[in-house]
């Protein structure tokens, strides 16, 4: 314990100094508001607990295709219409655009000093993630969302359309049927969405040019969403993310931040229940195109006395989506493997993947507590002797609490636990505790200081070699 | 299997497009007709309320929805408690309940910064909401709210603005709103509303932030009725003539260059 604090001490001091300086130097109030809030002449907190997480009203605004809940105001209210009598102009484009910047100073403490080039170093990321959004309603009940992201954290970093989708709202009467098509987070309406984290995910550091990839550092994100299985690969023709391997820490399936597909959702039976069904464009382990499918049901309890809650459950099925591989250090944990080889050489079976889980959220005054318990299962056919080398079940739990203590300060904590599955010889559980203090100089500009601590006994393996991390940075949208 | 799924997806896509086209093109525009206040319309208003208002105002209208605290923390404004019968934005004198038109106007316009406009609801739905909100406070059953008369506006001129500036000082407006109307008067830091939440005086140089509206009539109405539950008093008994109030309105509008 003493070692942990000694190692992180410099980072904490650095972060505290940074936040202190920023707090003193930054004006207390800013008149700047993100474009989305500006469109409606409203403060960000009408829709957000604090940017970027949505409150119960913001969730309904999102559900309704960027229209005020219960209405079909489309482009007719406040928002400027693309097209119309004068057509679209560059000036009008700004009415649809918002920018989000994230930059930070990071310090990672490792157990094995030979394991990574980033060992115990302070790294400045300015800015490391930039998102540019275009969103709004093109017409009544037709809305769009495009988000480009430049992310220097990711190995395949660069500018890309992370999310891009169209929503057709209120197709079967008010709330009954909505259709979303494109790239989006399938868990947008789940009690614990993959996207819009109050504690921004930190991507992995990995060398993905070879197979299996070398992992210098695991990502830091809600482990309930992770794939959890060691020793799996994707089809060679669809290499993505971290190369051929499916990283055990990678958000996947229902909890992918961005998946291409279509979803139907609505509230045909009143305000309490939200259904969602969808298809995700996928690639089979064989390289053929296929579709994953899922369903989600959420129950909302919105009453009074300053509190509300919801619970949700989902089922996601991905047929023939992964290869079981025989390589000892597969699954994205192959730093000890020498030389590159082909994943295809080592495939021993094709597996279906099934994910199901429950989530819940409770708001009371300015306290926002939510969590997800997610189970993953592999189905395949193997001789009994070979199958005994595999654990077909995995699970993950993420619990988070955010408390907006004042209009300026938000304190957050998250507990993550992953019971890993897959190749038994390689699978290692993981659990983390994260704490964060966030200071908002205005509703759209926040400075944060965050600490991640590995709760498992740290060892020299790529899964466990990261002991802790301290981040101090800024997150702003305008 | 994959081919079957593809066929299904195509069929569903076509069906959805046809459905969407039909529905979106047949949505009729509503007529601006005030429906009768009866149990049926109150019930319809409740259904709308449960979809749109409950998040801030709470299930029974006490202003205690789950978003209320996130919205402003321990500061004013808070969502209205409809069961208390205390309304801020109205055309009636201080202690009176609002007229139907006042509630309709607030629903339609929203409150800049804090409540979205609900002009996306057709007028009939907004009236139904008005009736439901009124049903939450028994006092409406016997109340006969009378909107104040605005009289004839005084045209803006250098002379009128100049007179308004003098009235602005005489009435003590600058104590809260500041000499330049920027909401930074010497009393501004210590103001509280009726719920003991800190409240910030309006910045009169930013007209679009005025919660009770920024039209000439809106500002006149605010001066004469005050804003219930806030330190903004009614000046109905203080001013000498309606023309003085219109001069003051012209001065306030001039602070933002809007006269």
Domains identified in chain B and CATH numbers: 39-141 (1.10.760.10), 158-255 (1.10.760.10)
Which tens digit of pLDDT belongs to each residue from B72-106? 888 889 999 999 999 999 999 878 999 999 999 99
Q: What is the mean pLDDT of residues A427-443?
A: 94
Distance CA(B150)–CA(B224), nearest Å, equals 9
Mutate which of A34, A279, A302, A403 to disrupt the B interface (most B C-beta within 10 Å)?
A302
pLDDT of residue A6: 39
Please give the helix or strand (H or E) that residue A362 lies within, else none.
strand A347-364
A375: number of CA atoms within 13 Å, CB side?
A: 9
Q: Which of A73, A139, A289 sits opposite B120 (nearest CB)?
A: A73
pLDDT of residue A218: 87
Mutate which of A30, A49, A55 to disrupt the B interface (most B C-beta within 10 Å)?
A55
pLDDT of residue A330: 40
Q: What is the mean pLDDT of residues B176-205?
A: 94
A180 has a pLDDT exceeding 80: yes
A314 has a pLDDT exceeding 70: yes
Tell me the pLDDT of chain B averaged across its residues: 88
pLDDT of residue A336: 36
> A32 to each of A54, A99, A468, B112, how far by Cα in Å?
20, 12, 35, 15
Q: Do residue A68 and residue B2 have CB atoms under 8 angstroms apart? A: no
pLDDT of residue B11: 63
pLDDT of residue A337: 34
- Which structural domains are found in chain A, ordered by start? 2-477 (2.40.160.10)
Which tens digit of pLDDT belongs to each residue from A32-82? 346 667 777 788 889 999 988 999 999 999 999 988 898 887 755 554 444
pLDDT: which is higher, B153 or A216:
B153
Chain B interface with A: residues with Cβ < 8 Å = 1-2, 5, 9, 16, 19-20, 23-24, 27, 48, 50-52, 54-56, 58-60, 62, 64-75, 110, 112-121, 208
pLDDT of residue A460: 77
Q: Which of A128-137, A210-219, A224-233 has the highest mean pLDDT?
A: A224-233
pLDDT: which is higher, B219 or B74:
B219
Minimum mean pLDDT range among A128-132, A415-419, B35-39: A128-132
pLDDT of residue A39: 73
B176 has a pLDDT exceeding 50: yes
Distance CA(B259)–CA(B253), nearest Å, equals 5
Which tens digit of pLDDT belongs to each residue from B15-26? 555 454 444 444
Kindly state the tokens that stand for B58: 């709470």
- Chain B residues touching A272 at Cβ < 8 A: none
Q: Do residue B51 and residue A174 have CB atoms under 8 angstroms apart? A: yes
CA angle B191, B106, B135 (to 5 degrees): 100
pLDDT of residue A333: 45
pLDDT of residue A405: 94
Q: If contacts are CB pairs under 8 Å, which of residues 183-242 in chain A contact chain B?
A: none
Q: Report the complex ipTM.
A: 0.83
Coil, helix or strand at residue A402: strand
Distance CA(A224)–CA(A250), nearest Å, equals 10
CA angle A71, B139, B217 (to 5 degrees): 60
Tell me the pLDDT of chain A averaged across its residues: 80
Which tens digit of pLDDT belongs to each residue from A78-105? 544 444 444 454 555 666 788 888 888 8
pLDDT: which is higher, B196 or A236:
B196
Length of chain B in residues, anyone? 259
pLDDT of residue A215: 74
pLDDT of residue A430: 94
pLDDT of residue A238: 46
**Strands A430-442 vs A445-454: parallel, antiparallel or unpaired:** antiparallel
- Chain A residues touching B66 at Cβ < 8 A: 55-56, 302, 306-308, 363-364
Mutate which of B110, B116, B184, B207 to disrupt the A interface (most A C-beta within 10 Å)?
B116
- Chain B residues touching A56 at Cβ < 8 A: 55, 65-67
Distance CA(A230)–CA(A52), nearest Å, equals 32
Kindly write down the DSSP assignment for every residue of A327-340, as one continuous string. Answer: -TTTTT--TT--S-
A463 has a pLDDT exceeding 50: yes
Which tens digit of pLDDT belongs to each residue from A352-394? 999 999 999 999 999 999 999 999 999 998 887 778 889 999 9
Q: What is the mean pLDDT of residues B224-233?
A: 94
Minimum mean pLDDT range among A192-201, A233-242, B101-110, B195-204: A233-242
Q: What percent of chain A has pLDDT over 90?
A: 44
User: Please, which pLDDT band fits residue B120 given cuts at 50, 70 and 90?
Assistant: confident
B205 has a pLDDT exceeding 50: yes
Distance CA(A141)–CA(A72), nearest Å, equals 6
A332 has a pLDDT exceeding 60: no
Distance CA(A294)–CA(A354), nearest Å, equals 10
Q: What percent of chain B has pLDDT over 90?
A: 75
Helices (runs of H) and strands (runs of E) counted in chain A: 5, 24
Q: Are B115 and B207 in contact (CB under 8 A)?
A: no
Question: How crowded is residue A90: how many other Cβ atoms within 10 Å of its Cβ?
Answer: 6
Q: What is the mean pLDDT of residues A266-288?
A: 91
Say yes or no: A176 contacts chain B, CB-CB below 8 A.
no
């Amino acid at each position: 314990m003493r070692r942990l604090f000694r190692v992180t001490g410099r980072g904490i001091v650095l972060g505290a100094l940074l936040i202190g300086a920023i707090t003193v130097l930054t004006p207390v109030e800013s008149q700047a508001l993100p474009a989305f809030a500006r469109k409606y002449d409203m403060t960000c907190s009408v829709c957000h607990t604090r940017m970027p997480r949505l409150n119960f009203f913001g969730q309904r605004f999102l559900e309704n295709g960027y229209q005020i809940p219960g209405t079909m105001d489309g482009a007719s209210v406040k928002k400027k219409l693309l097209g119309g009598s004068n057509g679209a102009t560059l000036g009008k484009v700004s009415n649809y655009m918002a920018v989000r910047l994230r930059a930070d100073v990071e310090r990672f403490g490792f157990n094995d000093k030979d394991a990574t080039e980033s060992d115990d170093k302070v790294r400045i990321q300015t800015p490391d993630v930039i998102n540019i959004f275009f969103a709004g309603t093109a017409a009544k009940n037709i809305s769009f969302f495009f988000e480009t992201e430049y992310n220097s954290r990711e190995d395949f970093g660069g500018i890309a359309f992370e999310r891009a989708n169209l929503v057709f709202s209120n197709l079967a009467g008010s709330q009954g049927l909505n259709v979303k098509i494109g790239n989006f987070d399938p868990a947008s309406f789940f009690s614990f969405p993959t996207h819009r984290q109050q504690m921004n995910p930190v991507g992995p550091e990995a060398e993905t040019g070879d197979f299996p990839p070398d992992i210098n550092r695991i990502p830091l994100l809600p482990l309930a969403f992770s794939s959890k299985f060691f020793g799996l690969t994707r089809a060679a023709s669809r290499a993505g993310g971290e190369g051929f391997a499916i990283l055990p820490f990678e958000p996947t399936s229902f909890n992918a931040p961005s998946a291409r597909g279509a979803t139907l959702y609505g509230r045909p039976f009143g305000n309490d229940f939200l259904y969602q069904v969808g298809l995700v464009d996928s690639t089979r382990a064989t390289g053929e195109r296929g579709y994953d499918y899922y369903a989600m049901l959420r129950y909302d309890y919105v009453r009074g006395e300053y509190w509300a809650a919801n619970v949700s459950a989902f089922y996601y099925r991905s047929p023939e989506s992964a290869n079981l591989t025989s390589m000892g250090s597969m699954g994205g944990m192959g730093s000890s493997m020498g030389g590159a080889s082909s994943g295809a050489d080592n495939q021993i079976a094709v597996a279906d993947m099934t994910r199901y889980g429950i989530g819940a959220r409770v708001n009371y005054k300015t306290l926002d507590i939510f969590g997800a318990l997610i189970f993953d299962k592999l189905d395949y056919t193997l001789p009994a002797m070979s199958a005994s080398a595999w654990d077909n079940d995995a699970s993950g739990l993420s619990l988070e609490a955010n408390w907006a203590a004042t209009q300026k300060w938000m304190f957050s904590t998250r507990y993550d636990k992953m019971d890993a599955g897959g190749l038994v010889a390689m699978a290692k559980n993981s659990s983390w505790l994260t704490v964060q203090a966030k200071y908002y100089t205005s509703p759209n500009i926040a400075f944060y200081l965050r600490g991640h601590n590995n709760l498992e006994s740290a060892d020299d393996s790529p899964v466990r070699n990261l002991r802790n991390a301290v981040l101090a940075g800024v997150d702003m949208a305008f | 299997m994959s081919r079957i799924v593809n066929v299904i997806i195509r069929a569903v896509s076509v069906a959805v497009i046809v459905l969407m086209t039909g529905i979106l093109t047949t949505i009729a525009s509503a007529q601006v007709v005030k429906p009768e206040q009866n149990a049926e319309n109150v019930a319809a208003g409740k259904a709308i309320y449960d979809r749109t208002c409950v998040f801030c105002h709470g299930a029974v209208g006490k202003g205690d929805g789950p978003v209320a605290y996130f919205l402003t923390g321990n500061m004013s404004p808070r969502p209205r408690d409809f069961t208390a019968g205390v309304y801020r934005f109205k055309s009636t004198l201080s202690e009176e309940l609002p007229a139907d038109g006042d509630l309709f106007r607030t629903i339609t316009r929203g409150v800049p910064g804090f409540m979205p406009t609900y002009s996306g609801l057709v007028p009939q739905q907004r009236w139904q909401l008005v009736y439901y909100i009124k049903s939450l406070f028994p006092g409406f059953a016997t109340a006969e709210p009378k909107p104040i008369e605005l009289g004839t506006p005084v045209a803006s001129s250098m002379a009128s603005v100049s007179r308004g500036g003098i009235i602005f000082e005489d009435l003590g407006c600058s104590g809260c709103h500041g000499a330049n109307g920027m909401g930074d008067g010497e009393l501004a830091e210590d103001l509280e509303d009726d719920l003991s939440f800190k409240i910030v005086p309006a910045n009169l140089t930013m007209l679009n932030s005025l919660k009770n509206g920024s039209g000439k009539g809106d500002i006149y109405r605010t001066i004469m009725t005050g804003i219930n539950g806030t330190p903004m008093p009614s000046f109905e008994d203080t001013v000498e003539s309606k023309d003085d109030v219109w001069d003051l309105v012209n001065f306030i509008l001039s602070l933002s260059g809007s006269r």
